[in-house]
Amino acid sequence: MTYPGRVAVVDVHFSSADSFYLEEAYQRIHYYPPPFYGVYFEPWLWYDGNQHGGFDYMLWESMITDRMAMPAPVTITMWGEYTPSTGEGTVNVHLQNDSTATVNGRVIIVITEDSLYYMAPNSVEWHNHVPRDYLPDYNGTLVSIPASDYAIVTQPFTINPIWNDNHCTIIAWIQNDSMQVDSTFEIWQGGMKKVTELGVEEVNTDVKRNQVLVMPNPCVGETGFVFELPAGLEYTIAIYDVSGRRIKKFKGVSLGKHSAVQWNVRDSKGQTMSSGIYFYEFTSLLANTSGKIVVR
């Protein structure tokens, strides 16, 4: 749900002869200056907006690991809804500015797909994190986030019937839109969320099965999670603050009827939470959803 380190990966196939060529991905690559003697070369690693990753696979892991260990000024939280029967959904990207200065950047959101077969010229057969669609397009969304404040970018999306939604992930990152002296467009933070882990919304029914209701919301002092699962099914409810820190966790077993779990707006240490926005993630074998709670 939350990603304190930079973990987002996109495997762009930018040759028009490639089976997974995508024009939007081609345009995103050309957002960066050509890295190899004035030309674009593959395979090549751009890591966190740095074009100097090179084509030596042996060096990539250490570069990425070192970058992930660096502190980030932004925390990303993602949630949304997805309807498998129509392939339509909405993703929300919450960007919390944890620094003491305004963050001006570009938010890029892309749907990727894993486990794709294609015999590439370099003899690689299976491909992951292949971009399928940029939301709303490869230009992304410009944001300006004051110190200690946040922004939310919301985008609708549609999963193409030829894609396997179980293998689709939505990746988001926020990037400095001003090129640095070393030709780098620094990425401050990235996050990802599997499409099938978004809240499943059932349509054309009087009662939404596997739905988790939070009541009241907004709340003062207490709220509750109401849901229905088959008897004996385990569930977990995790609550996070806007920085992505988990403050409370509930675990239980369904009794096979409508269940209610109360939260007294306190963390695991018993401290009362201040007013603001919090996020929850409900997990079980049948229902996986997330959303926000407003505490007044």
Contact 188, 105 (CB under 8 A): yes
| Among the ranges given (15-29, 72-86, 189-203), the one the predictor scored with the smallest mean pLDDT | 189-203
Is pLDDT larger for residue 254 or for residue 9? Answer: 254
Q: Percent of the chain scored above 90 by pLDDT?
A: 31
Look at residue 3 in the predicted model and tell me its pLDDT: 33
Say whether 12 sits in a helix, a strand or coil. Answer: coil
Angstrom distance (rounded) from CA 140 to CA 157: 14
Angstrom distance (rounded) from CA 257 to CA 230: 7
pTM of the model: 0.63
Long-range contacts of 126-130 (CB under 8 A, 24+ apart): 127/11, 127/13, 127/20, 128/9, 128/11, 129/9, 129/10, 129/11, 129/169, 129/171, 130/11, 130/13, 130/20
Angstrom distance (rounded) from CA 281 to CA 154: 18
Look at residue 203 in the predicted model and tell me its pLDDT: 36
Convert the pLDDT of each residue in 209-242 to its tens digit: 446 888 888 888 899 888 878 777 889 999 998 8
For residue 262, give the amino acid letter: Q
What domains are there in the chain, each with its CATH number? 2-197 (2.60.40.10), 213-295 (2.60.40.4070)
Convert the pLDDT of each residue in 121-158 to its tens digit: 666 778 888 899 999 999 999 999 998 888 889 999 99
Q: With bands split at pLDDT 50, 70 and 90, how would you rate the model's confidence at 257?
A: low
Q: Give the CA angle between residues 172, 173, 176 to the nearest 5°.
A: 155
For residue 253, give the amino acid letter: V
Angstrom distance (rounded) from CA 250 to CA 236: 6
| Among the ranges given (10-19, 145-154, 255-264), the one the predictor scored with the smallest mean pLDDT | 10-19
